[in-house]
Amino acid sequence: MPKTEIILTHNVVGLGAESDQVKVAAGYARNYLFPQGLAIPLTAANKRRLEALRQRRAEREAHEFNTMSELSRSLAKMVLVLTAKTGEEGKMFGSITAGVIVDELKHQFDIAIDKKKVHLERPLRAAGEHEVELRLHPEVVTTLKVRVESATPAANPAEATAEPKAKETAMRRTREAVAGRAGEGAAPKAREGVTAKAKDKDTPAAKAEATKERAPRKPRAEKKSE
């Protein structure tokens, strides 16, 4: 496939930046780069435009550097707080990726960056604080603090200790209340038994029986008159 040499007039990802002289497939240049205004053929007339393109490129890069440097200082002071469902020992269900971090930066701070600038060795899979490297510019690298909080926090140790004690106290009080009601029920029954026995003593049969059981009195000795 024939090649042609061109001058880039704009930054083209994977190819170069404005003022760069590169060789590309003739068809690619003819059908895409030239119609889109991204490049011009390398000719003697166009070479005179190189200085202007280089000046524009220098101004653009300086602006990008200053912008990213300022953004870097701002990000270094921020703490991005994320919430995730976790299980035992803070292990998360799922993970937090560069895409999630970029989305939350936009949502929480209205900061838009390319997720390719977020460099994670591996997705975040545990609650706590993490430091994430952001490569904002070839010459600007910063660190963003990311704090992952659990949506299902573990119970407070003091509360966990107090809960069994509270249950034990409630159960003891319940047992005492049940025992108290049982005692109150037994007392009337005992009183009823005493009353019933008293009533039984008042019946004629009970009186007759009591008379039989009494021992006969001995007759008194009469005094002889002198």
Beta strands 140-150 and 79-84, pairing class: parallel
Distance of CA 82 to the CA centre of its chain: 8
What integer pLDDT is reported at residue 141 of this predicted model? Answer: 95
Q: What's the rounded Cα separation, in Å, for the pair 139 and 95?
A: 30
Closest CA to 11 of 49, 51, 48, 38: 38
Q: What's the rounded Cα separation, in Å, for the pair 147 and 82?
A: 6
Is the entire prediction scored with pTM above 0.95?
A: no
What integer pLDDT is reported at residue 225 of this predicted model? Answer: 46
Q: What's the rounded Cα separation, in Å, for the pair 226 and 220?
A: 19
Distance of CA 153 to the CA centre of its chain: 7
What integer pLDDT is reported at residue 15 of this predicted model? Answer: 93
Count Cβ atoms within 10 A of the Cβ of residue 22 and give its class: 0-12 exposed, 13-18 middle, 19 or more buried: middle
Q: Encode 67-111 in three state secondary structure.
A: HHHHHHHHHHCCEEEEEECECHHHEEEEEECHHHHHHHHHHHHCC
What integer pLDDT is reported at residue 174 of this predicted model? Answer: 75
Closest CA to 135 of 153, 116, 151, 122: 116
* Per-residue pLDDT in tens (0 to 9) along the chain, 226 residues: 689 999 999 989 889 999 999 999 999 999 999 999 999 999 888 888 888 899 999 999 999 999 999 999 999 999 999 988 887 766 778 889 999 999 999 999 999 999 999 999 899 988 889 999 999 999 999 999 999 988 875 555 555 555 566 667 777 777 777 676 655 555 555 555 545 554 555 555 555 555 555 555 555 555 544 4
Domains within the chain, CATH numbers bracketed: 3-48 (3.40.5.10), 73-150 (3.10.430.100)
Residue 43 · residue 34 · CB < 8 Å = no
Residue 114 · residue 107 · CB < 8 Å = no
What integer pLDDT is reported at residue 219 of this predicted model? Answer: 52
